[in-house]
Protein backbone atom coordinates (compact mmCIF):
# COMPACT_ATOMS: atom_id res chain seq x y z
CA UNK A 1 0.00 0.00 0.00
CA UNK A 2 1.47 3.33 -1.04
CA UNK A 3 2.16 6.01 1.54
CA UNK A 4 0.55 9.41 1.22
CA UNK A 5 2.95 12.25 0.62
CA UNK A 6 3.27 14.54 3.63
CA UNK A 7 3.44 17.81 1.71
CA UNK A 8 3.84 19.95 4.81
CA UNK A 9 6.84 17.89 5.89
CA UNK A 10 8.49 18.35 2.48
CA UNK A 11 8.11 22.13 2.66
CA UNK A 12 9.28 22.26 6.28
CA UNK A 13 12.45 20.36 5.40
CA UNK A 14 13.14 22.65 2.46
CA UNK A 15 12.99 25.73 4.71
CA UNK A 16 14.96 23.97 7.47
CA UNK A 17 17.81 23.36 5.00
CA UNK A 18 18.08 27.08 4.35
CA UNK A 19 18.21 27.83 8.08
CA UNK A 20 20.86 25.13 8.63
CA UNK A 21 23.04 26.57 5.85
CA UNK A 22 22.62 30.11 7.22
CA UNK A 23 21.10 31.45 4.01
CA UNK A 24 17.42 31.82 4.88
CA UNK A 25 16.43 35.19 3.46
CA UNK A 26 14.68 37.82 5.57
CA UNK A 27 12.94 40.72 3.82
CA UNK A 28 13.41 43.86 5.89
CA UNK A 29 10.29 46.00 6.37
CA UNK A 30 11.20 49.58 5.41
CA UNK A 31 9.75 52.75 3.88
CA UNK A 32 11.92 55.24 2.04
CA UNK A 33 11.49 58.91 2.83
CA UNK A 34 10.44 60.77 -0.32
CA UNK A 35 12.98 63.40 -1.26
CA UNK A 36 15.40 62.38 1.48
CA UNK A 37 17.14 59.31 0.02
CA UNK A 38 19.09 57.40 1.39
CA UNK A 39 17.12 58.00 4.59
CA UNK A 40 14.33 55.57 5.34
CA UNK A 41 12.17 54.17 8.15
CA UNK A 42 12.53 50.59 9.36
CA UNK A 43 9.65 48.66 10.95
CA UNK A 44 11.61 45.42 11.38
CA UNK A 45 12.12 43.99 14.88
CA UNK A 46 10.79 46.90 16.94
CA UNK A 47 7.67 48.91 17.59
CA UNK A 48 7.19 51.83 15.28
CA UNK A 49 9.51 53.24 12.61
CA UNK A 50 13.22 53.68 13.29
CA UNK A 51 15.37 55.96 11.09
CA UNK A 52 17.95 54.11 8.98
CA UNK A 53 20.35 54.74 6.10
CA UNK A 54 19.94 52.52 3.04
CA UNK A 55 23.23 51.16 1.63
CA UNK A 56 22.05 48.43 -0.74
CA UNK A 57 19.47 49.93 -3.08
CA UNK A 58 19.76 49.37 -6.83
CA UNK A 59 18.11 52.77 -7.31
CA UNK A 60 21.71 53.76 -7.93
CA UNK A 61 21.14 57.41 -8.85
CA UNK A 62 18.12 58.07 -6.59
CA UNK A 63 16.00 58.70 -9.69
CA UNK A 64 13.09 57.03 -7.91
CA UNK A 65 13.13 60.15 -5.71
CA UNK A 66 13.69 62.69 -8.50
CA UNK A 67 11.10 65.45 -8.76
CA UNK A 68 10.82 65.11 -12.55
CA UNK A 69 10.01 61.41 -12.22
CA UNK A 70 7.49 61.84 -9.42
CA UNK A 71 5.77 64.73 -11.19
CA UNK A 72 5.53 62.76 -14.44
CA UNK A 73 3.96 59.83 -12.61
CA UNK A 74 1.47 62.06 -10.78
CA UNK A 75 0.50 63.78 -14.03
CA UNK A 76 0.02 60.45 -15.80
CA UNK A 77 -2.09 59.09 -12.95
CA UNK A 78 -4.47 62.03 -13.17
CA UNK A 79 -4.43 61.98 -16.99
CA UNK A 80 -5.02 58.29 -17.79
CA UNK A 81 -5.63 56.49 -14.49
CA UNK A 82 -3.73 53.68 -12.79
CA UNK A 83 -3.50 50.50 -14.88
CA UNK A 84 -2.74 49.83 -18.53
CA UNK A 85 -5.90 47.84 -19.20
CA UNK A 86 -4.36 44.62 -20.48
CA UNK A 87 -1.69 43.17 -22.73
CA UNK A 88 -0.08 45.36 -25.38
CA UNK A 89 -1.99 43.45 -28.05
CA UNK A 90 -5.43 43.93 -26.53
CA UNK A 91 -5.76 47.12 -24.53
CA UNK A 92 -2.49 47.91 -22.83
CA UNK A 93 -0.61 49.81 -25.52
CA UNK A 94 -0.44 53.49 -24.63
CA UNK A 95 1.34 56.43 -26.18
CA UNK A 96 3.62 56.40 -23.11
CA UNK A 97 4.84 52.91 -24.10
CA UNK A 98 5.41 53.97 -27.70
CA UNK A 99 7.33 57.09 -26.69
CA UNK A 100 9.47 55.23 -24.14
CA UNK A 101 10.49 52.60 -26.70
CA UNK A 102 11.46 55.37 -29.10
CA UNK A 103 13.66 56.97 -26.40
CA UNK A 104 15.28 53.62 -25.49
CA UNK A 105 16.04 52.80 -29.13
CA UNK A 106 17.61 56.25 -29.51
CA UNK A 107 19.59 55.78 -26.25
CA UNK A 108 21.34 52.74 -27.70
CA UNK A 109 21.47 53.80 -31.35
CA UNK A 110 19.14 50.99 -32.43
CA UNK A 111 16.17 50.89 -34.78
CA UNK A 112 13.70 49.71 -32.19
CA UNK A 113 13.07 48.72 -28.58
CA UNK A 114 10.55 46.63 -26.66
CA UNK A 115 9.53 47.00 -23.01
CA UNK A 116 8.73 44.19 -20.57
CA UNK A 117 7.42 44.06 -17.01
CA UNK A 118 10.90 43.41 -15.56
CA UNK A 119 14.52 42.84 -16.48
CA UNK A 120 14.09 39.17 -15.56
CA UNK A 121 11.22 38.80 -18.01
CA UNK A 122 13.07 40.63 -20.79
CA UNK A 123 16.03 38.24 -20.49
CA UNK A 124 13.94 35.10 -20.13
CA UNK A 125 11.47 35.98 -22.90
CA UNK A 126 14.05 37.20 -25.41
CA UNK A 127 16.68 34.49 -25.01
CA UNK A 128 14.15 31.66 -24.93
CA UNK A 129 12.42 33.00 -28.04
CA UNK A 130 15.69 33.63 -29.89
CA UNK A 131 16.71 30.03 -29.40
CA UNK A 132 13.40 28.73 -30.70
CA UNK A 133 13.54 30.94 -33.79
CA UNK A 134 17.08 29.79 -34.72
CA UNK A 135 17.03 26.04 -35.50
CA UNK A 136 20.12 24.26 -34.19
CA UNK A 137 21.24 27.36 -32.28
CA UNK A 138 24.02 27.11 -29.69
CA UNK A 139 24.10 29.76 -26.95
CA UNK A 140 27.42 30.65 -25.32
CA UNK A 141 26.94 31.99 -21.81
CA UNK A 142 29.41 33.64 -19.42
CA UNK A 143 29.76 31.61 -16.21
CA UNK A 144 28.63 34.57 -14.06
CA UNK A 145 25.51 35.50 -16.04
CA UNK A 146 22.31 36.48 -14.24
CA UNK A 147 19.79 33.81 -13.20
CA UNK A 148 17.30 35.34 -15.65
CA UNK A 149 19.70 34.81 -18.56
CA UNK A 150 20.31 31.22 -17.46
CA UNK A 151 16.55 30.65 -17.27
CA UNK A 152 16.03 32.09 -20.74
CA UNK A 153 18.76 29.93 -22.24
CA UNK A 154 17.37 26.84 -20.51
CA UNK A 155 13.84 27.63 -21.73
CA UNK A 156 15.10 28.07 -25.29
CA UNK A 157 15.81 24.34 -25.51
CA UNK A 158 19.13 25.15 -27.22
CA UNK A 159 22.50 23.61 -26.69
CA UNK A 160 24.35 25.70 -24.12
CA UNK A 161 28.09 26.26 -23.71
CA UNK A 162 29.29 28.00 -20.55
CA UNK A 163 32.62 29.79 -20.90
CA UNK A 164 34.82 30.82 -17.99
CA UNK A 165 34.07 34.33 -16.77
CA UNK A 166 35.52 36.93 -19.17
CA UNK A 167 37.89 34.26 -20.56
CA UNK A 168 38.21 35.00 -24.27
CA UNK A 169 40.53 32.07 -24.97
CA UNK A 170 37.99 29.66 -23.53
CA UNK A 171 35.15 31.30 -25.45
CA UNK A 172 37.07 31.05 -28.72
CA UNK A 173 37.92 27.43 -28.06
CA UNK A 174 34.21 26.67 -27.65
CA UNK A 175 33.18 28.71 -30.69
CA UNK A 176 35.79 27.03 -32.86
CA UNK A 177 34.48 23.60 -31.89
CA UNK A 178 31.05 24.30 -33.40
CA UNK A 179 29.89 24.26 -37.03
CA UNK A 180 30.80 27.70 -38.40
CA UNK A 181 27.49 27.96 -40.24
CA UNK A 182 25.29 26.97 -37.28
CA UNK A 183 23.35 29.79 -35.54
CA UNK A 184 25.15 31.02 -32.43
CA UNK A 185 24.44 33.60 -29.72
CA UNK A 186 27.02 34.93 -27.24
CA UNK A 187 25.19 36.10 -24.10
CA UNK A 188 27.06 38.13 -21.52
CA UNK A 189 26.76 41.10 -19.14
CA UNK A 190 28.49 44.45 -19.20
CA UNK A 191 28.78 44.97 -15.42
CA UNK A 192 28.78 41.87 -13.23
CA UNK A 193 26.95 43.17 -10.21
CA UNK A 194 28.33 40.90 -7.47
CA UNK A 195 32.03 41.43 -8.27
CA UNK A 196 31.82 44.83 -9.96
CA UNK A 197 33.94 43.91 -12.98
CA UNK A 198 33.31 44.59 -16.68
CA UNK A 199 33.16 42.47 -19.83
CA UNK A 200 35.70 42.93 -22.67
CA UNK A 201 32.97 43.90 -25.12
CA UNK A 202 35.09 44.58 -28.20
CA UNK A 203 36.96 41.29 -27.82
CA UNK A 204 33.66 39.43 -27.60
CA UNK A 205 32.38 41.24 -30.69
CA UNK A 206 35.59 40.34 -32.54
CA UNK A 207 34.96 36.66 -31.79
CA UNK A 208 31.30 36.99 -32.75
CA UNK A 209 32.27 38.37 -36.15
CA UNK A 210 34.94 35.73 -36.64
CA UNK A 211 32.61 32.85 -35.79
CA UNK A 212 29.34 34.18 -37.21
CA UNK A 213 27.51 34.70 -33.90
CA UNK A 214 24.91 37.15 -32.65
CA UNK A 215 25.76 39.17 -29.52
CA UNK A 216 23.39 39.68 -26.58
CA UNK A 217 24.49 41.98 -23.76
CA UNK A 218 22.77 42.46 -20.42
CA UNK A 219 23.35 46.08 -19.36
CA UNK A 220 20.98 46.15 -16.37
CA UNK A 221 23.63 47.36 -13.91
CA UNK A 222 25.07 49.86 -16.39
CA UNK A 223 22.24 51.66 -18.20
CA UNK A 224 21.87 55.17 -16.85
CA UNK A 225 25.23 54.75 -15.10
CA UNK A 226 27.84 54.87 -17.88
CA UNK A 227 28.28 56.62 -21.20
CA UNK A 228 27.70 60.27 -22.04
CA UNK A 229 23.91 59.75 -22.22
CA UNK A 230 23.59 56.75 -19.89
CA UNK A 231 23.63 54.11 -22.62
CA UNK A 232 25.78 51.81 -20.49
CA UNK A 233 29.23 50.30 -20.89
CA UNK A 234 28.53 49.62 -24.57
CA UNK A 235 28.09 53.37 -25.10
CA UNK A 236 31.09 54.27 -22.93
CA UNK A 237 33.30 51.83 -24.84
CA UNK A 238 31.84 52.85 -28.23
CA UNK A 239 30.67 49.31 -28.88
CA UNK A 240 26.87 49.63 -29.01
CA UNK A 241 26.80 49.48 -32.81
CA UNK A 242 28.57 46.10 -32.67
CA UNK A 243 26.01 44.52 -30.33
CA UNK A 244 22.95 42.88 -31.89
CA UNK A 245 20.68 42.96 -28.82
CA UNK A 246 21.09 45.25 -25.80
CA UNK A 247 18.99 44.37 -22.76
CA UNK A 248 18.41 46.72 -19.85
CA UNK A 249 16.27 47.45 -16.83
CA UNK A 250 14.08 50.37 -15.89
CA UNK A 251 14.15 49.52 -12.18
CA UNK A 252 17.74 50.27 -11.20
CA UNK A 253 19.48 53.47 -12.33
CA UNK A 254 16.28 54.71 -13.98
CA UNK A 255 14.55 54.28 -10.64
CA UNK A 256 11.12 52.84 -11.51
CA UNK A 257 10.23 49.38 -12.88
CA UNK A 258 10.44 47.26 -16.02
CA UNK A 259 12.89 45.84 -18.54
CA UNK A 260 13.58 46.20 -22.26
CA UNK A 261 15.59 45.17 -25.27
CA UNK A 262 16.92 47.37 -28.08
CA UNK A 263 17.84 45.92 -31.49
CA UNK A 264 17.06 46.18 -35.18
CA UNK A 265 13.38 46.18 -36.15
CA UNK A 266 13.39 42.59 -37.44
CA UNK A 267 14.55 41.20 -34.10
CA UNK A 268 12.17 43.46 -32.15
CA UNK A 269 9.25 42.41 -34.35
CA UNK A 270 10.06 38.72 -33.92
CA UNK A 271 10.29 38.93 -30.11
CA UNK A 272 7.12 41.06 -30.00
CA UNK A 273 5.29 38.51 -32.13
CA UNK A 274 6.60 35.21 -30.70
CA UNK A 275 7.62 35.67 -27.03
CA UNK A 276 4.90 34.38 -24.65
CA UNK A 277 6.47 36.38 -21.80
CA UNK A 278 5.63 39.52 -23.74
CA UNK A 279 2.41 38.57 -25.54
CA UNK A 280 0.44 37.22 -22.59
CA UNK A 281 1.47 39.68 -19.85
CA UNK A 282 -0.40 42.80 -18.81
CA UNK A 283 1.75 45.72 -19.86
CA UNK A 284 3.45 48.11 -17.46
CA UNK A 285 1.14 50.70 -15.95
CA UNK A 286 1.33 53.95 -17.94
CA UNK A 287 2.04 55.67 -14.61
CA UNK A 288 5.28 53.68 -14.31
CA UNK A 289 6.14 54.18 -17.97
CA UNK A 290 5.67 57.95 -17.66
CA UNK A 291 8.09 57.99 -14.72
CA UNK A 292 10.70 55.98 -16.60
CA UNK A 293 10.29 58.18 -19.65
CA UNK A 294 11.09 61.25 -17.56
CA UNK A 295 14.07 59.49 -16.00
CA UNK A 296 15.56 58.34 -19.33
CA UNK A 297 15.17 61.80 -20.85
CA UNK A 298 16.78 63.45 -17.82
CA UNK A 299 19.77 61.11 -17.67
CA UNK A 300 20.42 61.50 -21.39
CA UNK A 301 21.28 65.14 -20.76
CA UNK A 302 22.50 65.15 -17.14
CA UNK A 303 25.74 63.58 -15.92
CA UNK A 304 25.50 65.18 -12.48
CA UNK A 305 23.98 62.10 -10.84
CA UNK A 306 26.42 59.69 -12.52
CA UNK A 307 29.46 61.76 -11.57
CA UNK A 308 28.39 62.10 -7.93
CA UNK A 309 27.63 58.40 -7.66
CA UNK A 310 30.98 57.35 -9.10
CA UNK A 311 32.81 59.74 -6.77
CA UNK A 312 30.98 58.36 -3.73
CA UNK A 313 31.62 54.76 -4.73
CA UNK A 314 35.33 55.47 -5.04
CA UNK A 315 35.34 57.34 -1.72
CA UNK A 316 33.69 54.43 0.11
CA UNK A 317 36.13 51.91 -1.39
CA UNK A 318 39.04 54.08 -0.25
CA UNK A 319 37.67 54.49 3.28
CA UNK A 320 37.10 50.73 3.59
CA UNK A 321 40.52 49.94 2.18
CA UNK A 322 42.23 52.41 4.53
CA UNK A 323 40.40 50.85 7.49
CA UNK A 324 41.68 47.39 6.56
CA UNK A 325 38.27 46.02 5.60
CA UNK A 326 38.31 43.26 2.92
CA UNK A 327 36.71 45.31 0.15
CA UNK A 328 36.94 43.46 -3.16
CA UNK A 329 38.59 45.03 -6.20
CA UNK A 330 35.93 46.64 -8.37
CA UNK A 331 36.21 48.97 -11.35
CA UNK A 332 32.56 50.01 -11.18
CA UNK A 333 30.04 51.55 -8.80
CA UNK A 334 29.60 48.24 -6.92
CA UNK A 335 31.36 48.04 -3.52
CA UNK A 336 31.50 44.37 -2.41
CA UNK A 337 32.86 43.53 1.06
CA UNK A 338 33.98 39.91 1.37
CA UNK A 339 32.85 37.88 4.39
CA UNK A 340 33.08 34.31 3.07
CA UNK A 341 30.50 32.77 5.40
CA UNK A 342 26.67 33.02 5.22
CA UNK A 343 26.06 33.00 8.99
CA UNK A 344 28.61 35.73 9.64
CA UNK A 345 27.37 37.82 6.71
CA UNK A 346 23.82 37.69 8.11
CA UNK A 347 25.03 38.51 11.63
CA UNK A 348 27.03 41.54 10.44
CA UNK A 349 23.99 42.75 8.49
CA UNK A 350 21.74 42.30 11.54
CA UNK A 351 24.10 44.22 13.85
CA UNK A 352 24.50 47.05 11.35
CA UNK A 353 20.74 47.48 11.16
CA UNK A 354 19.83 46.98 14.84
CA UNK A 355 22.68 48.92 16.45
CA UNK A 356 23.85 51.40 13.83
CA UNK A 357 20.82 52.01 11.60
CA UNK A 358 22.77 50.97 8.49
CA UNK A 359 20.79 48.74 6.13
CA UNK A 360 22.68 46.36 3.83
CA UNK A 361 21.57 42.85 2.90
CA UNK A 362 23.93 39.85 2.91
CA UNK A 363 24.50 38.23 -0.49
CA UNK A 364 24.54 34.44 -0.23
CA UNK A 365 24.37 31.35 -2.44
CA UNK A 366 22.93 30.90 -5.07
CA UNK A 367 23.46 34.57 -5.96
CA UNK A 368 27.20 34.06 -5.36
CA UNK A 369 29.20 30.82 -5.00
CA UNK A 370 29.39 29.22 -1.55
CA UNK A 371 32.34 30.53 0.43
CA UNK A 372 32.17 33.97 -1.25
CA UNK A 373 29.28 35.40 0.76
CA UNK A 374 29.53 39.16 1.02
CA UNK A 375 27.90 42.47 1.82
CA UNK A 376 27.22 44.54 -1.30
CA UNK A 377 27.18 48.32 -0.87
CA UNK A 378 25.82 50.69 -3.50
CA UNK A 379 26.54 54.26 -2.38
CA UNK A 380 24.46 56.79 -4.27
CA UNK A 381 24.91 60.46 -5.11
CA UNK A 382 23.18 61.51 -1.87
CA UNK A 383 25.31 59.52 0.58
CA UNK A 384 27.52 61.93 2.55
CA UNK A 385 31.09 61.58 3.82
CA UNK A 386 29.69 61.54 7.38
CA UNK A 387 27.41 58.62 6.49
CA UNK A 388 30.38 56.74 5.02
CA UNK A 389 32.54 57.42 8.10
CA UNK A 390 29.77 56.14 10.37
CA UNK A 391 29.35 53.00 8.27
CA UNK A 392 33.08 52.23 8.12
CA UNK A 393 33.46 52.84 11.85
CA UNK A 394 30.58 50.47 12.54
CA UNK A 395 32.07 47.78 10.30
CA UNK A 396 35.49 48.04 11.98
CA UNK A 397 33.85 47.69 15.42
CA UNK A 398 31.82 44.66 14.29
CA UNK A 399 34.89 43.06 12.67
CA UNK A 400 36.71 43.44 16.00
CA UNK A 401 33.74 42.17 18.02
CA UNK A 402 33.42 39.06 15.85
CA UNK A 403 37.21 38.56 15.82
CA UNK A 404 37.40 38.78 12.04
CA UNK A 405 40.68 39.64 10.40
CA UNK A 406 41.41 43.13 9.12
CA UNK A 407 44.00 43.75 6.44
CA UNK A 408 47.24 45.43 7.45
CA UNK A 409 47.85 48.83 5.90
CA UNK A 410 50.31 48.69 3.01
Rounded CA separation 93/100 (Å)? 12
CB 249 within 8 A of CB 119: yes
CB 215 within 8 A of CB 169: no
Positive/negative CA dihedral, 152, 117, 201, 134: positive
CB 342 within 8 A of CB 37: no
Residues 6+ apart with CB under 8 A from 32: 39, 40, 54, 64, 65
DSSP secondary structure string, 150-182? HHHHHHHT-EEEEEPTT-HHHHHHHHHTS-TTS
Rounded CA separation 246/123 (Å)? 10
CB 54 within 8 A of CB 376: no
Alpha helices, DSSP H, located in 51-94 = 67-80
The DSSP bridge pattern shows strands 374-377 and 335-338 to be antiparallel
DSSP 265: H
DSSP 327: B
Residues 6+ apart with CB under 8 A from 263: 110, 111, 112, 113, 244, 245, 246
Tell me which of 110, 184, 252, 346 is the catalytic residue.
Answer: 252
Residue 319 annotated as catalytic: no
Rounded CA separation 390/90 (Å)? 52
DSSP 288: H
User: Residue 341: CA atoms inside 13 Å, Cβ hemisphere, count?
Assistant: 6
Q: Residue 298: what are its φ and ψ, rounded to 5°?
A: -65, -45
The strand ranges marked E within 269-406 are 335-338, 358-359, 362-363, 374-377
CB 336 within 8 A of CB 368: no
Which sequence positions are flagged as catalytic?
252
Amino acid sequence: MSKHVNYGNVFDKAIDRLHEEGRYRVFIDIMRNKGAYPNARCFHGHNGPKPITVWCSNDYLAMGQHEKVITAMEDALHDVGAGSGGTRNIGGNTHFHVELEHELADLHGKEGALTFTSGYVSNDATLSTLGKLLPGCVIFSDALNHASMIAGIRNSGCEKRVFKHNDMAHLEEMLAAEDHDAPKVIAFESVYSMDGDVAPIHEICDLAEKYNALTYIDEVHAVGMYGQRGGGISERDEAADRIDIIEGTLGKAFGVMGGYIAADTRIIDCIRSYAPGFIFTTSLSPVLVAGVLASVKHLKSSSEERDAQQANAEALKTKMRDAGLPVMDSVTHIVPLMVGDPVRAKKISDILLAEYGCYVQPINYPTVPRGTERLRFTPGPMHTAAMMDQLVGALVEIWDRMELELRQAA
